A = this chain, B = another copy of it.
Amino acid sequence: MASTQYADFAQYKEQRAALISSDRALRPDHSTAVSAAEAKADKFVRELRAAEAISVWATEHEGVPHPFPGMEFLTGRSIILKTKLFNVLSKMPKGGLLHAHLDATVNAEFVLKIALEQPALHVRAPAPLSALTLSTILPQFSALPRDMFPDSGTALTDASYSPGTWVSLKNARASFDPALGGSEGFDKWVIGAMTINPSEAYQTHNTVNKIWEKFTSTFAVGNGLIRFAPVWRQYIYEFFRASVEDGVSYVEVRVNFYPKYMFGEDGQENIPHRDWLEIFDATLGEFKAELKSQGREDEFIGARIIYSTLRFIDLEELAWYCEDCITLKQEFPHLIAGFDLVGPENVLKPLIYYAEGLLRFRARQKEAGVDIPFILHAGETLGDGTEADVNLYDAILLGTLRIGHGFSLVKHPKLMETCRERGILIEVCPISNEILRLTSSMLMHPLPILINNGLPVALCSDDPAMFGNMGLTFDFYQVLVASEVSGLIALRELARASLEHSTLEPAEKARAISAWGKRWERFVEAIADL
């Protein structure tokens, strides 16, 4: 072979450099403009990463048998928090968050705290709680109308507790058996049911399908508290606040409209979708006004909603949701960004089942004079040729604007090419994928394949409330420490892509990118002092 003959070793080294360069040519951080300050900051970050790989990750940590950079997040989280690199990244302007489920975005402790302030909120259990049953019995929450408030305050932990009896949230907490930890025991029980812990993810539920069962149950529990208008309002505000605190300046969040109503302050389940959007819009307005009053309006461009329903509905129901979505888009054109069907792809209906209905939806949009792009989950699976994997073909044929997860996309050469050519961004959720057992650690994640093939990618947190990866800093951290190729410039391009591939209108988008760019420059200048 001609190309394996060299005049001398110098020529070998030249060709080697050329080969490495051509192999990386499709990366967004390859042959891109890098300022002197960025080059310096990149060097700082690479040196810090290398130093902490030894000073932090190669030392012993109690209860963590095998620490390494990019390790299982739930086990490694406390170690990550000890690193200076995490602190540096927490200050980084991250661009937009393009893939998160609203019901899963706010810290469970915060949700419980604000829920406890609501007299209408109640809790019940299918059996009295005891030391034996505490870890398997899940709480059920609901708002109740005043005339249904229970008279007495039987404790859930009382042997005489009558299964299914509602207890006010406050009373349930106050009366929780001291032998089971009292009020703190109550909090632990509730938070445990709303989050995933390391022993669930890595031991008892250590397969994709098993951890999804636990994951699904966290939504069922949390929704009882969140889908109550007074809580929802505060919840949304906190989501925005925490996002901005982490350097996220725009969110495009999936809201699950499967339930047709949420509970109102009066404890009736009668708040329709349009009112949800009104609350969302008003809260967004308040939050932006608050930031503006502090001179911080460039820190948050806004928020939009990807209308979502669940991938188990039938075709008749799909048609209802599509019409509902069009109606909402007509009233709130600035809020509705796209449409998706969500839920565990490995067990729910494939996209092909909905395809004809979804094409009809596009035709109906034209008639209605609106444009609601598909932004579909697809390929969130380990399957090879399974329905979940095959969803990628349908997502692309349906014209999806981006792909949610696309974990199995790397198996598909033609689809990789199509995504690159059409600029279909992949919403990659590193920590979510790992906790949901698609990858064992960040080191096995296919992200470098996407980046090296020139596909646009944004990093997303997916369900930070359940996973504990609040904000985007943890996801950026995991990605950065699992590679020797990616440095600060790669992170810059990931952040920039999240804004470029948002559904913002051209003028808003330009403003968002420009505001982010200015903050990026300040971040880079200050990096050594963070």
Contact = CB atoms under 8 A, between A and B. Distances in A.
A398 B439 contact: no
A399 interface: yes
Interface stretch (A158-166, A335-343, A408-416): A408-416
Chain B CB within 10 Å, residue with most, of A23, A412, A444, A448: A23
Question: Which 9 residue pairs spanning A and B have beta carbons closest together?
Answer: A4-B399, A385-B484, A385-B485, A23-B414, A382-B443, A384-B483, A440-B440, A66-B207, A9-B356
B452 A412 contact: yes
Contact of A414 (B19, B204, B355, B449): B19
A359 interface: yes
A1 interface: yes
A38 B4 CA distance: 40
A22 interface: yes
Interface string A244-288: 000000000000000000000000000000000000000000000
B4 A397 contact: yes
Nearest to A394: B16
A491 to B, nearest CB: 14
Contacts of A65: 204, 206
A444 B66 CA distance: 21
B393 A19 contact: yes
Given A23-B415, A412-B452, A484-B385, A210 B66 contact: yes
Interface in A403-454: 410-415, 422, 438-441, 443-444, 446, 448-449, 452-453
Interface string A298-311: 00000000000000
Contact of A485 (B15, B384, B399): B384
B393 A452 contact: no
A355 B452 contact: no
Contacts of A413: 23, 26, 452-453
A150 interface: no
A68 interface: yes
Contact of A68 (B207, B410, B449, B482): B207
A383 interface: yes
Contacts of A397: 4, 12, 15-16, 19
A25 B414 CA distance: 9
B414 A9 contact: no
Interface string A1-44: 10010100100100110011011011000000000000000000
Given A410-B410, A413-B23, A453-B413, A448 B396 contact: no
A199 interface: no
Nearest to A352: B16
Contacts of A396: 19
B449 A411 contact: yes
A171 interface: no
Contact of A385 (B25, B453, B483): B483
